[in-house]
Amino acid sequence: MTATERLFDIDPGMNEFDALVISCEPEKGKFKVVLDRTAFFPEEGGQSCDKGTLGGFEVISVHEKDLVIAHFLSEPLNVGGTVHGVIDREKRFSDMQQHTGEHIVSGIVHSMFGYDNVGFHLGSAVTTMDYSGELHAEDIRKVELAANRAVYENIPVNVLYPDPDELERMDYRSKKELTGKIRIVEIPGYDLCACCAPHVSRTGEIGIIKIVDFEKYKGGTRVYLLCGYRALSDYNAKESSVMSLSALLSAKPEEVYPAAEVIFLNEQKERYDNGVLKTKLMEYEIASLPEYPAGLAYFSEYLDKKNMKRAFQMICARSAGLFGCFSGNDTDGYTFFLGDRSGDARVPGKKFLEQFGGRGGGSAEMFQGSVKVSQAEIHEFFIKYTNN
């Protein structure tokens, strides 16, 4: 089959086109349509394919193999007839903003630091680039500033098809992996790179270039990039978040962090004080329980794991027989530690669970578990057990 004419190479601004239907075959529940020419950019080199319609039917995906571009549709088209294609302009323009922005950033990273772009993915929400060396926060800000300067300079983005001799002398990125006619995208002063994707015609069309995040990745750096409308909607989302925080904290938008930090530190201190007070309360309450009765139970809504253990030891010290501590309330039930100064804790423990259900287990020293039962019923159990 002859190569499909790539209209997006000639005019990336082309929204609509007419083409001849060369073939239409069913494949995996869809129809694979090949045209003599197309403005649909296929899925290629880390970038998703164009969206849009052919003959009014939605184009589900677009793939290229051996220079033939195939469109996948849910409906068949008439072979030999002409078909009208419409590109989803919004997605294409956003893809071009991201992709040209990526070239500028990668060109700058290459010239400033000598690193290569070894991974590229233009996703539906964010573009990632993986660079072969480590970049730090101040490097990222330098690169970002230089990239935005390239936007404000509104430089033309040129597409070149150099002959092999010219190509040999050219110092361009992405030199490897390429065969056949090489397409070079040039952003004078910033980048020269082999690339098959559509680009904006001038850098001003990209709008803002914003690196929203970066991280160490496989010995190098992964950078997260948003350009143009994507950067704007990211700004809007973050602005709305900061404005809500600003109202909530009664702080100026640029001062929400110190205001939130004060609240966070106060909360941390209160939580600590609260813990200290709960321990003191527990110690006070246990100290006022009767000493050395046959059965001794302590109830509290405020026992955390650490205080449960401490309460268990304290009650043990002032008990003569069955003893236990219970954390919770009558509505939600209790978690408990049971012990017996005169025998194996598992004996009353098992009886306790037999009577009330719930889960638990333990050793001769301590039996622990949880039950859904009231304080009054537990008291009754203690009386009955110690009287037997």
* CB-nearer residue toward Zn ion: 192 or 314: 192
CB of residue 108 to Zn ion, shortest distance in Å: 15
- 202-221 positions binding Zn ion, by CB under 5 A: none
Q: Which member of 195, 209, 322, 338 binds Zn ion (CB under 5 A)?
A: 195
Say whether residue 182 binds Zn ion (CB under 5 A).
no
Give the residue ranges of DSSP H helices in the chain.
7-10, 89-113, 137-152, 164-169, 229-249, 256-287, 305-317, 346-356, 375-387
- Tell me the two tokens of residue 25: 């075959």
Residues paired with 326 in a beta bridge: 299, 336
d(CA 213, CA 177): 29
* CB-nearer residue toward Zn ion: 199 or 210: 199
CB of residue 188 to Zn ion, shortest distance in Å: 16
- 107-126 positions binding Zn ion, by CB under 5 A: none
Residues paired with 55 in a beta bridge: none
Tell me the window of 16-24, 85-93, 136-144, 192-200 that interacts with Zn ion (CB under 5 A). Answer: 192-200
Q: How many chain residues bind Zn ion (CB under 5 A)?
A: 1
d(CA 38, CA 19): 7
Residue nearest to Zn ion (CB): 195
Phi, psi of 87 (to 5 degrees): -90, 140
* CB-nearer residue toward Zn ion: 120 or 336: 120
Residue type, 285: E
Contact (CB, 8 A) for 118 and 132: yes
d(CA 382, CA 368): 16
Tell me the window of 49-57, 140-148, 150-158, 191-199 that interacts with Zn ion (CB under 5 A). Answer: 191-199
* CB-nearer residue toward Zn ion: 117 or 221: 117
* CB-nearer residue toward Zn ion: 107 or 321: 107
Q: Which residues sit at the interface with Zn ion, rule CB under 5 A?
A: 195
